[in-house]
A and B are shown apart, each in its own frame.
Chain A
Amino acid sequence: MTERDVVRDLTLDGNAVAGLLEEVFGGEMTTADGRCAHCGSTNALGALLAYVRAPGVVLRCPACTEVVARIVQTPRETLVDLRGAAHLAIRR
């Protein structure tokens, strides 16, 4: 198995972190749309690529693979980095 295959096999998607997203944002987020700040494509958060084998969660754009969001939880707080998201459209 090549290194690329290993990374590919570890790729999940936003569905896998739906619980964390709901905890952070206070509602169901996998159907919310996120616009990638890098390439401008819009995808449901459930469709973003998710990397969870790290101290935090990294969500990447399925079109250009740039980072859209990073979420790290420490015992005291949750850190959310949304620099890679131009906007989120959350259903009311």
Chain B
Amino acid sequence: MRRPLGWQIATVKAIAQETAHVKTVTLALPDWTAHRPGQHYDVRLTAADGYQAQRSYSIASPPERAGEVDLTVERIPDGEVSTYVHDVLAAGDGVEVRGPIGGYFVWEASTGGPLLLVAGGSGVVPLMAMLRHRAAAGAKIPARLLYSSRTLEDVIFRQELDSLASRDGLAIFHTLTRGQPKGWTGYARRIDQPMLAEVSRPLGTAAVAFICGPTALVETAANALVQLGLPQERIRTERFGPTGT
């Protein structure tokens, strides 16, 4: 039996700007437990009057990094917690968290593959933990990531994804839905069934799929994969919404 889920005060070790609207917060945890890629932490803020706001943020770092986690957070304009994380939080601050949490949307090298990852926007964060873990564990399991962003500037972890894609067995496909740079050769529309058919075909119907993003993208992609013959029980989804990110 694992330890009971309790709150602890993590210390902000560093904050990095990923894109215009996304930051990664590195938290040092006094009571660190190795997470499973895809899990998240709950973050709780308490105001002076006792009012509390709580959100869950996916872990971006791999479990191979001991003692700390990266939480990658998109700034939601009216978000109670994400605006605080973006506009107020600084290195050295304490922040109340509990985790790691979750078990449904989790992939480990021991789960096997082939692995099909589909992300929209900051939905790439838990999938990044899976890809970083895959690399850290030296797994050669074939993997493909289809990642939808508005523009090239909105692609989170762009350079690292490029370098990961040069490794054994991982292919990454971008689609840019709002604007494309000159000479763009990737996809330039919302994720649809023909796109998923092209990307997933080499993996076959034995793949395990993880889809994370806004509800509309998650439902489109999950339905398309079922149409393409992937069994429902091998499709795992996680919806990111205005309150969850």
Complex Cα–Cα for A19 and B5 (A): 8
Size bin of chain A's contact surface: 20 to 34
Report the nearest A residue to B98, measured CB to CB: A19
A3 close to B (CB within 8 Å): no
Query: Which of A12, A26, A45 is close to B241, meaning CB atoms less than 8 Å apart?
Result: A12
Report the nearest B residue to A7, measured CB to CB: B215
B237 close to A (CB within 8 Å): yes
Residues of B within 8 A of A44 (CB): 104
Complex Cα–Cα for A14 and B237 (A): 10
Q: Contacts A9-B214, A10-B243, A53-B243 hold; do A15 and B105 have CB atoms under 8 A apart?
A: yes
Query: Which of A16, A22, A28 is close to B239, meaning CB atoms less than 8 Å apart?
Result: A16
List CB contacts (< 8 Å) of B39-66 with chain A. 40, 42, 56
Interface size on B, residues (CB 8 A): 26
Instruction: With A18-B103, A19-B5, A46-B105 given, name 20 new contacts (CB 8 A).
Output: A8-B215, A10-B242, A11-B215, A12-B215, A12-B239, A12-B241, A15-B56, A15-B102, A16-B56, A16-B239, A16-B243, A16-B244, A18-B104, A19-B99, A23-B5, A26-B4, A30-B102, A30-B103, A52-B243, A53-B243
A-B contact pairs, 30 of them (CB 8 A): A9-B214, A9-B241, A10-B243, A11-B215, A11-B239, A12-B215, A12-B240, A12-B241, A13-B237, A13-B239, A14-B104, A15-B40, A15-B104, A15-B238, A18-B40, A18-B104, A19-B42, A19-B98, A19-B99, A19-B101, A22-B5, A22-B101, A27-B1, A31-B104, A45-B104, A46-B104, A46-B238, A47-B237, A52-B244, A53-B243
